[in-house]
Structure 1
Amino acid sequence: MKTLFLLCVLFTVASLRTYSKCELARVFQSYGLDDIPGYSLADWVCMVQYESSFRTNALRHNRRIGRVDSTNYGLFQFNSRWWCADGKMGNSRNGCKQHCTQFVDNNIADDITCAKRVVKDRQGMDAWYGWKKHCKGKVDNYLQECNL
């Protein structure tokens, strides 16, 4: 039993990834997030800072009247009601056509594809509360130290 517990702990620790701001900016740049009309690379990195603290395995349960209503997953905090299916909500729109667990691993290519899909909707980046509150119109010098 102890061996199983240790293996689970090791797997969990090995699967965690927290990016630094500048490291994530470079990764996002390589995936073309700096080419999305209307949004800068700084907008994307700032949003992820406030949504997930740069953690690939971030989870946030949204409660309504004492029960979990939906869950947000990964770097971009994709909501299980709108963007992915977690098997807990029968009415998920699953706009990115992914299982939510795909967004809590260290492969962020599918996360970025989904983020590009989200921003195409009429809300754009306003879909992310963290961006709207902390980043929108405030990121002029946000990546200055990254030397991009």
Structure 2
Amino acid sequence: MKAAGILTLIGCLVTGAESKIYTRCKLAKIFSRAGLDNYWGFSLGNWICMAYYESGYNTTAQRVLDDGSIDYGIFQINSFTWCRHGKLRENNHCHVACSALITDDLTDAIICAKKIVKETQGMNYWQGWKKHCEGRDLSDWKKGCEVS
């Protein structure tokens, strides 16, 4: 009986820790509702393409960089400049804990991504966007997703 209870608890913990990987169309709908389509002149296709190449639409994606900082979440937002990971040297321009950027609720990640686009050089912040999305026809990224 105890073993079954422990296995159930472990199953709940593992399930809670699993990452959420969105589909392209689900993200298109979320991004559209959040006002990302044509935000600072960047079409919805830009956002969907960028999220794909940055994280593969994985909400819990994390990448440790050579300088010790970490990129977090669906947009791979960096801990040194944009969020608080717990180190004193971090700037936290988005006024958010980095852990808030790796949840299934994309609200904080979207607010921070908007701030990055507005306060830097647009989407040039994201290397995945620069390499794979910039200057390309991105209309197919929202094709078939029932978004305007």
The CA deviation string for residues 72-99 of structure 1, in whole angstroms up to 9 with x for no partner, is: 1111111001100101x32111110011
User: Which 5+ residue runs of structure 1 have no aligned equivalent?
Assistant: none
User: Which 5+ residue runs of structure 2 have no aligned equivalent?
Assistant: none
Q: What does residue range 1-148 of structure 1 map to in structure 2 within 5 Å?
A: 3=6, 5-13=10-18, 16-64=19-67, 69-87=68-86, 89-138=87-136, 139-148=138-147
| Over 4 Å off, 4+ runs | none
How far apart in 1 are the matches of 2:46 and 2:119? 17
- What TM-score results when the alignment is normalised by the length of structure 2? 0.87
Q: Give the secondary-structure state (helix, strand or coil) at the position aligned to 1:54.
A: coil
Q: What is the total number of aligned residue pairs between the two structures? A: 141
How far apart in 2 are the matches of 1:21 and 1:84? 25
1:12 deviation in Å? 1.3
What is the RMSD computed on CA atoms of the aligned residues? 1.8
Identity across matched positions, percent: 39
Amino acid at match of 2:84: A
**Which stretch of the first structure deviates more once superposed, 30-39 or 76-85?**
30-39
Amino acid at match of 2:78: N
**Which stretch of the first structure deviates more once superposed, 104-113 or 137-146?**
137-146
How far apart in 1 are the matches of 2:17 and 2:130? 32
Q: Give the secondary-structure state (helix, strand or coil) at the position aligned to 2:140.
A: coil
The CA deviation string for residues 29-60 of structure 1, in whole angstroms up to 9 with x for no partner, is: 01110141320000001000001100111111
1:5 deviation in Å? 4.1
Amino acid at match of 2:46: D
More strand by share: 1
